[in-house]
Homo-oligomer: A and B are copies of this chain.
Amino acid sequence: MKDFKTIKGSICAPLGFRAAAVFCDIKRLGTGKGSEKGKKRDLALIVSEAPAVVAGMFTSNQVCAAPVKVSARNAKRSSARAIVVNSGNANACTGRQGMRDAEGMTRLTAAALSSFGLTKWIPANEVLVGSTGRIGVTMPMRNVAQGIRACSRLLRRSPKNARDVAEAIMTSDTRRKEIAVEFKIGGKSVRIGGICKGAGMIQPQLTQSLHATMLAFITTDAAIESGFLRNALKVACNESFNRITVDGDMSTNDTVIVLANGLAKNRCLDRLSQNRGKFQEALNFVCLELAKMIVRDGEGISRVICLRIRGARNSTEAEAAARAVANSALVKTSWCGGDPNWGRILCAIGYSSARIDESKVDIGYSRSGSSRILFGCRRGQPTGVVLKKFAPITTAKEFDIHVDLHRGDGKFVIYASDLTEDYVSFNKGDITDPASLGG
């Protein structure tokens, strides 16, 4: 029984959050190509009317983009007011100029917000920045500056454009990803809203230390203590964004940021609050739903598989086994064909760092969410169930795989996609058409 309900409004559902997006042609200068494909918005602002407690989780890739470095630093402060985000350019592998540009985006945003009367004067480090798009190309700062001002102007006129922002952060995504929930904390209504983007280069390994091209922005009007918010976000990410994989590539830009402005006026939540579980549960739900939207919209994918490993010696080994399977090219192509090829799954587990005994492994398939498992192998040996019996399960858009290693209590669940010809076509680009070359 969930203690919250899903509501509309996405990141603008919580009190006191404004959001808007504009088109400022960020791709053009980088690629030499114009905006023939239509003016998809590419720069967005998310602003809290009141100072907000901030928490962030960022890619653990050693090569991390300038905006990630800037946001990770600014997320360590006690409060923040705004997030500026762009698509079309990841500002990654751009060296010192990249850092200057990411800093520049926070300064320009702080200045524009106060000059348009959206906030009082705020320092640049109360602004966080997220970027996604092509790697290795410097930001077209003239366009960005113009976009930030245009977006601020728009925010004053029309404060609630969550849908436009969810669209502006899309790159290879085919649909917006947004959600909001509402629940009660001591009689007060509290809301959490979230948007995200991501379709390729997806296997986030978010850590709280400074170390995507998955971006997620979460707003809440909960009053919450900073340390508790950070911990709650870490817990939620580990159960959601850190459990998805599309292609096994961890991006240089993965970012999850949450702003909590306290306007719900609930009694401030901390790690001792009676209601802390309610908040955590709602935040987990928001993050997991957003994470699943990413897998379902994975580049070129045709199926989503929920892979459940149990019986590993410990959870670390369960995770290792799960990632080996979920990132095996041969397993993923078999999923594409609707082939219950448990031999390839067993093979991938065998080369993972999980210690296993082949003669103990069970591998079975079920419809999504069902506990009626049809086993392909038990104790490492074929069950002899004929292939066509698996077809109704394994040719569905979503299904579950259940692996029991029978070695201990370690468990891990991962949401993965198949590997299709379309994924390859989409990502291979064509050197004769530079605009086709992906980030």
Contacts and interface: CB of A to CB of B under 8 A. Distances in A.
Interface in A245-265: 247-252
Given A93-B381, A381-B93, A351 B431 contact: no
Copies of this protein in the complex: 2
* 7 tightest Cβ-Cβ pairs between the two chains A and B: A135-B343, A63-B350, A337-B428, A95-B381, A333-B427, A421-B421, A337-B429
7 contacts: A61-B347, A64-B350, A138-B382, A329-B423, A337-B431, A394-B431, A421-B425
A376 B93 CA distance: 11
A359 B387 CA distance: 52
Given A93-B382, A205-B351, 4 more contacts: A63-B346, A201-B347, A249-B351, A337-B437
A390 B431 CA distance: 9
A247 B251 CA distance: 20
Contacts of A356: 62-63
A95 B359 contact: yes
A343 B428 CA distance: 14
Given A333-B423, A420-B424, A343 B439 contact: yes
A359 B95 CA distance: 7
A429 B391 CA distance: 13
B249 A328 contact: yes
A330 interface: yes
A60 B430 CA distance: 38
B93 A431 contact: no
A429 B206 CA distance: 35
A370 interface: no
Interface string A336-362: 111111111011111100011011000
Interface string A399-436: 00000000000000000000111011101111110101
Contacts of A376: 136
Contacts of A349: 62-63
A251 B421 contact: no
A374 interface: no
B339 A429 contact: yes
B391 A432 contact: yes
Contacts of A330: 200-201, 247, 249, 427, 438
Interface of A: 60-64, 92-95, 134-138, 200-201, 205, 247-252, 328-330, 333-334, 336-344, 346-351, 355-356, 358-359, 376-377, 379-382, 387-388, 390-391, 394-395, 419-421, 423-425, 427-432, 434, 436-439
Given A377-B93, A381-B94, A434-B387, A429 B341 contact: yes
A367 to B, nearest CB: 15
A380 B350 contact: no
Contacts of A358: 62-64, 93
Given A387-B434, A394-B431, A348 B93 contact: no
A92 B334 contact: no
A387 B431 contact: yes
A92 B347 CA distance: 9
Contacts of A428: 333-334, 336-337, 339, 420
A337 B430 contact: yes
Contacts of A61: 347, 350-351
A137 to B, nearest CB: 7
Contacts of A387: 431, 434, 437
A358 to B, nearest CB: 5
Given A333-B427, A377-B93, A421-B424, A342 B136 contact: yes
Contact of A247 (B329, B381, B382, B424): B329
A351 B93 contact: no
Contacts of A336: 424, 428
Nearest to A96: B381
B339 A93 contact: no
Nearest to A379: B95
Contacts of A437: 334, 337, 339, 341, 387
